[in-house]
Amino acid sequence: MKRVNDEANAVTTPFALQAVVASSCALAAVILYVALDLGSTAFVGNAGQKIVDAMARSGFTAAFALIFVSELGDKTFFIAALLAMRLGRLKVLLGATSALAAMTVISVAIGRAFQSLPASMKATLPVGEYAAVAMLVFFGVKTLKEALETDPAGDTPEAHGELASATEVVCKSKSGRGSIIPGFAAMVETFTLIFIAEWGDRSMLATIALGAAQNPVGVACGATLGHFIATLIAVVGGSLLSKRISERTVGIIGGLLFLAFAVFTWFGVF
């Protein structure tokens, strides 16, 4: 059985690498087109300056910090960890990262839509900024409330919902029946499970809020990097880390970050 799996991985790995390169290029193009208005002639003369300014702005820092902390111990984190033990680390990393990057692009595009409101409305009512602050405060309070209500004595992932929910999702998938899944099918399954689990999640809504109030390129890059690092941790050492992560501690840190960036956004610091 081990020899069969090794041979399958050897065949699918080159294809997987080609797939991630192609998907990365496509996602990068979409991010640049949506966020930097590549279709406009004004972009041609100052492309480099726009990219430097975008990376320098704290939209990158805020998105990275919020997404990375929010994803640690989240349901998608455990889904990636469980799938990696069954399907292979590389295939799950590619599928999960592609799903989360696609979700980030969608979220930033939705946030960007707030900036497309009529100029007269934005001049009298900064809808994007108000919506961003409201969403960040809501999730900050909600996350803190859930974390503080957790019993510290019984605070283990096994005792609470995220790992149990992730386990249920994985068990209901095709991989839960123990079949050998070819590389591409494994990536598609991972993409589908992660994308569905992430839809409407607090990290998606936080990305929308940041995309509405801050530089979309910085938010897209920061959020994607945060997702990637959290997913990498999940697939490499998720099974061990799942026994040590305190949902209460992560929840408190995440809630405080949400509230901090809400205050910073309100006062125009970021």
pLDDT digits (tens, 9 = 90+) for 27-63: 444 444 444 444 444 444 455 555 555 454 557 888 8
| Confidence (pLDDT) at 104 | 93
| Confidence (pLDDT) at 13 | 42
In contact, 235 and 96? CB cutoff 8 Å: yes
- The CA–CA distances, whole Å, from 219 to 169, 215, 227, 237 equal 29, 6, 12, 27
| Confidence (pLDDT) at 62 | 83
Question: Mean pLDDT over residues 109-123, rounded?
Answer: 68
Q: Which residue ranges make up each domain of the chain?
A: 2-266
Q: Coil, helix or strand for 231? A: helix
10-19, 115-124, 181-190: least confidently modelled range:
10-19
| Confidence (pLDDT) at 264 | 74
In contact, 80 and 211? CB cutoff 8 Å: no
Phi, psi (degrees; rounded to nearest 5) at 244: -115, -15
| Confidence (pLDDT) at 95 | 92
Measured CA to CA, the distance from residue 195 to residue 184 in angstroms comes to 16
| Confidence (pLDDT) at 49 | 58
Mean pLDDT of the chain: 70
The residue ranking higher by pLDDT, 260 or 43, is: 260
| Confidence (pLDDT) at 228 | 94
| Confidence (pLDDT) at 59 | 78
Measured CA to CA, the distance from residue 100 to residue 224 in angstroms comes to 7
In contact, 24 and 235? CB cutoff 8 Å: no
Measured CA to CA, the distance from residue 78 to residue 84 in angstroms comes to 10
pLDDT tens column, 117-146? 665 555 545 555 677 778 778 878 887 887
| Confidence (pLDDT) at 38 | 42
In the predicted model, is pLDDT for residue 89 greater than 70? yes
Exposure on the CB side of residue 262, measured as CA atoms within 13 A? 19
In the predicted model, is pLDDT for residue 102 greater than 90? yes
CB neighbours of 48 closer than 8 A, spacing ≥ 6?
none
| Confidence (pLDDT) at 224 | 93
Tokens of 240: 């061990």
In the predicted model, is pLDDT for residue 235 greater than 60? yes
In the predicted model, is pLDDT for residue 266 greater than 70? yes
- The CA–CA distances, whole Å, from 245 to 72, 201, 238, 262 equal 8, 20, 10, 26
In contact, 239 and 89? CB cutoff 8 Å: no
Tokens of 142: 């909600």
| Confidence (pLDDT) at 111 | 85
